[in-house]
Structure 1
Amino acid sequence: MACRRTSAGPTRERADGQNGSMTKETPSESPSEPERHTAGADEATAAAPKRRHTKSVVVLALVLGVLAGVGTFTFGYGKGGSYLSNNPEGCVNCHVMQDHFDSWQQSSHHHVAVCNDCHLPHDAIGKWVVKADNGFFHSLAFTLGNFKDPIQIKPRNRRVTQGTCVDCHNDFVHSLMPATEGADMLNCVHCHADVGHAGR
């Protein structure tokens, strides 16, 4: 078998066993060194975004895991489940509410209304929206220690309380309501402050 070099690489000639003619064999072409280097660089470049993506996913998973862990601990430590109930004792988880709880027990409404009846809207969606809103800000104030003692009702919660008074007593307060929309009206608790919380 003879070997001859061509521009495409070495070519081997071998005799064909049947008729004695010569055939050329060219070995399979392998990439040259520069081609191999370029191919390796392309693979490394393609792998870099995958590594960055994997790192981002791991970091995001860690952050979400820490937040979920802290949130679960805080919810359990703060007896968060009690806020989902209608039980007035859930409100006393925060010590600044103890006086309000005690005054409610001495009030005339103690036997007919619990905290949620007066301090949350009576429709299902409004109740849970306000409960979530109050729960978030109460938790934030409790965690940061940023609350007034004695605690004070916010204007938006005062409007909710006024709405619940009117909702329960609409049979006889309707005639006392302002005749025109936007007319001034005193809140019920302006005169009936002891109804929900006696002695406050």
Structure 2
Amino acid sequence: MTRESIPDIPDVSDETFWDTRYGENDRVWSGNPNTVLVREVTALEPGSALDLGCGEGADAIWLARRGWRVTATDISQVALDRGARHAAEAGVGDRIDWRRHDLATSFPAGTFDLVSAHFLYFRGDTSREEVLRAAASATAPGGVLLIAGHAGYPSWEQNPDPTVHFPKPDEVLDSLQLPDGQWEVLLSEEHERTQLAPDGRPTTRTDNAVKVRRVGADH
């Protein structure tokens, strides 16, 4: 979820906020998988995958179509139910396990060959860094952790909050606190992509991506 799309609404729980957000429209996101996921995962051998903040399930469905067994998590049951319907329509419903998690308080058990966290941001005091460290811990030896985030506000954002910090790739890497000798950095970059503005006009957006492989188990 994009940071700029998450206003701070007091006295509303995160679950209620997102259920309301998804309930307002039949589809909130494009239905297409994230471009970084496609670019960085296509060449990987399918195995088990964890999709954090799966929303309406486009990434999870793309992974399942390529042979992955996917655990897809989101705080919104409305989004999860919608994703499950889309997966059934795509013929991959049996390859995806949809689980509701508020990552501020619970995290899926087990380890995975791929852990994907695309545009995972939070309202309130939830620490994104702590959730991403949990994601690293959930990456199996030999597995890949892929993180994508925004490098700044989009051009159409009005009155952006100047106090919001969009971490750079090296800051994301540092925040993971990866043990020396146990991880290989495969990608740490900023990149541009085309995104449609609310009025349908194509604009250029700058994002960042971090991809690391776990090469050894914890001591």
Hey, which of these two has a bigger chunk of helix by percent? 1
- The TM-score, its normalising length taken from structure 2, stands at 0.17
Hey, which of these two has a bigger chunk of strand by percent? 2
